[in-house]
Amino acid sequence: MSVTPSQILGLTPGSYEAYCLDQATWYFGTVIQNELEKAGQKKQKGQAAIESARKRVLKKYLEGSDAKGLYADPALLFERSKG
Protein backbone atom coordinates (compact mmCIF):
# COMPACT_ATOMS: atom_id res chain seq x y z
CA MET A 1 0.00 0.00 0.00
CA SER A 2 1.40 3.37 -0.96
CA VAL A 3 1.20 6.47 1.18
CA THR A 4 0.46 9.81 -0.46
CA PRO A 5 1.95 13.17 0.59
CA SER A 6 -1.50 14.32 1.69
CA GLN A 7 -1.79 11.34 4.03
CA ILE A 8 1.61 12.11 5.54
CA LEU A 9 0.44 15.66 6.28
CA GLY A 10 -2.89 14.42 7.64
CA LEU A 11 -5.15 16.09 5.09
CA THR A 12 -8.71 14.85 4.73
CA PRO A 13 -8.71 11.92 2.28
CA GLY A 14 -10.55 12.77 -0.93
CA SER A 15 -10.52 16.52 -0.25
CA TYR A 16 -9.60 19.04 -2.92
CA GLU A 17 -6.58 20.14 -0.89
CA ALA A 18 -5.32 16.56 -0.66
CA TYR A 19 -5.79 16.12 -4.40
CA CYS A 20 -3.91 19.35 -5.20
CA LEU A 21 -1.00 18.50 -2.90
CA ASP A 22 -0.69 15.00 -4.34
CA GLN A 23 -0.80 16.31 -7.92
CA ALA A 24 1.76 19.06 -7.22
CA THR A 25 4.07 16.55 -5.57
CA TRP A 26 3.70 14.18 -8.51
CA TYR A 27 4.43 16.99 -10.99
CA PHE A 28 7.50 18.15 -9.09
CA GLY A 29 8.83 14.60 -8.86
CA THR A 30 8.19 13.94 -12.55
CA VAL A 31 10.04 17.09 -13.62
CA ILE A 32 13.06 16.22 -11.48
CA GLN A 33 13.03 12.57 -12.61
CA ASN A 34 13.02 13.62 -16.27
CA GLU A 35 15.92 16.01 -15.69
CA LEU A 36 17.88 13.29 -13.87
CA GLU A 37 17.30 10.86 -16.73
CA LYS A 38 18.47 13.45 -19.26
CA ALA A 39 21.62 14.05 -17.22
CA GLY A 40 22.31 10.32 -17.22
CA GLN A 41 21.93 10.00 -20.99
CA LYS A 42 24.53 12.55 -22.00
CA LYS A 43 27.71 11.12 -23.45
CA GLN A 44 30.14 11.50 -20.61
CA LYS A 45 33.19 9.68 -19.40
CA GLY A 46 32.32 7.25 -16.66
CA GLN A 47 29.81 6.81 -13.90
CA ALA A 48 31.35 9.56 -11.76
CA ALA A 49 30.59 12.17 -14.43
CA ILE A 50 26.99 11.00 -14.68
CA GLU A 51 26.55 11.13 -10.90
CA SER A 52 28.06 14.61 -10.84
CA ALA A 53 25.62 15.79 -13.53
CA ARG A 54 22.71 14.37 -11.56
CA LYS A 55 23.87 16.07 -8.38
CA ARG A 56 23.94 19.38 -10.26
CA VAL A 57 20.33 18.80 -11.37
CA LEU A 58 19.21 18.14 -7.80
CA LYS A 59 21.11 21.16 -6.53
CA LYS A 60 19.46 23.35 -9.18
CA TYR A 61 15.96 22.34 -8.12
CA LEU A 62 16.43 22.00 -4.38
CA GLU A 63 18.76 24.92 -3.71
CA GLY A 64 18.30 27.12 -6.77
CA SER A 65 21.00 28.83 -8.75
CA ASP A 66 20.91 32.00 -6.65
CA ALA A 67 19.35 30.73 -3.42
CA LYS A 68 20.53 32.33 -0.23
CA GLY A 69 19.05 29.66 2.03
CA LEU A 70 19.11 25.90 1.93
CA TYR A 71 16.06 25.45 -0.33
CA ALA A 72 14.85 27.29 -3.40
CA ASP A 73 11.46 28.94 -3.73
CA PRO A 74 9.10 26.24 -5.11
CA ALA A 75 7.40 28.85 -7.30
CA LEU A 76 10.61 29.12 -9.34
CA LEU A 77 9.98 25.58 -10.62
CA PHE A 78 7.03 26.84 -12.64
CA GLU A 79 9.02 29.76 -14.05
CA ARG A 80 11.78 27.39 -15.21
CA SER A 81 9.33 25.05 -16.91
CA LYS A 82 7.80 27.90 -18.97
CA GLY A 83 11.02 28.97 -20.62
Range of the domain at 44: 5-82
Model pLDDT, residue 12: 94
Nearest to 59 by CA among 20, 34, 32, 41: 32
- Tell me the Cα Rg of the chain: 16
Number of domains the chain contains? 1
* pLDDT tens for each residue of 23-74: 999 999 999 899 888 887 766 668 888 888 888 888 888 777 665 556 666 6
Model pLDDT, residue 47: 82
Across 19-63, the runs of DSSP E, i.e. the strands, are none
Q: What is the pTM of this model?
A: 0.63
CA-to-CA distance for 29 and 50, rounded, in angstroms? Answer: 19
Within 13 Å, how many C-alpha atoms sit on residue 21's CB side? Answer: 16
